Amino acid sequence: MRSRQSEGTHAMNDLDSAAIGFVGLGNMGQPMALNLAKAGFRLTVYDTRAERTRPLADLGATVADSLADLLAGVGIVVTMLPDTPDVASVVTGPCGIEHLGRPGLLQLEMSTIIPSASKRFAELLEARGMRYVDAAVGRSALHAARGESLFMVGAHDADLVAVRPLLEAMGDTIVHCGPPGSGIAMKIVNNFQGNVQAQITAEALVLGARLGLSVDRMVEVMSSTLSVNGFLTGYYPLKALTGDIEPGFALRLANKDLSIAVNLARELGVPVTAGAGAQACVEAACTGYGDKDVTALLDAAADAAGIVPPRMADA
């Protein structure tokens, strides 16, 4: 059986270019790029914060001085950026893919952005003989570090074949959701549900704490009933319920995702009354906690209730 590294290297030989460009080395992008480097892919990386490129350089990646420098020598450009305007600057900016990309180049877009923007980028690049895949990323930065991300992919069949070796090096689950734009649409729906659960879970735990209930018993009971959710069983006990609210996934980014979903629902005439209420709470919590972890919703809810944030017994 071939090693993961040899599989990655072999797969790259079948692509238009052996070189992969990676733009955006934040909490998710850096571990994903590191997994590509460890799997044997030849990388050129770029981030506006130079210190983020150093771990990649240590593994042999080339560090580009600019986006234009990166685009000059790659066949696939992976983008993992904070928001829609950041991706737009890479696609349509004066030194972006629209102007400097060559026919055949493929953009693998992995950021969480507005679905209509993703479709627009796909149409723009395809009109210029380039290719576009949106592969929205599920799960956390810890999963990304272990190469266990889930990818919700919007792509034409042939383009999914081209990027599959990269996705397999960065994750363990690939779900083809439809044509370009479908992947990010799926993530917006998924994150809408998840982030609403995060808010409701915080409120439930604070209500129980205010009633004098043990946090550990609440988690035990609610994990064994229809109240169960991933935040309750996995992420809150790992983060806020232990007193750790340093960002894994920043609250301000959760608010961005929820805002995209609520605004999209309004545009489509889809009632999301509970979701809109949760989004207003999440947005309010960003005052003071925006750069903390999404589970800091627990601390914000406790502040509003006038109590000390509840923690598990062994925290």
List the catalytic residue out of 119, 187, 239, 256.
187
124 exposed, middle or buried (CB, 10 Å; 0-12, 13-18, 19+)? middle
Contact residues for 252 (Cβ-Cβ < 8 A; gap 6+): 286, 290, 291
Q: Please check whether residue 180 is in contact with residue 122, taking contact to mean a CB–CB distance below 8 angstroms.
A: yes
The residue with tokens 């990323």 is: 137
Contact residues for 217 (Cβ-Cβ < 8 A; gap 6+): none
CA–CA separation, 43 vs 65, rounded Å? 14
Distances in Å between the Cα of 137 and the Cα atoms of 9, 49, 172, 247, 308 are 23, 22, 11, 17, 34
**Residue 187 is among the residues annotated as catalytic for this protein:** yes
- Of the candidates 197, 195, 198, 293, the one whose C-alpha atom is nearest the C-alpha of residue 248 is 293
CA–CA separation, 150 vs 15, rounded Å? 23
- Of the candidates 254, 253, 245, the one whose C-alpha atom is nearest the C-alpha of residue 292 is 245
* Active site members: 187
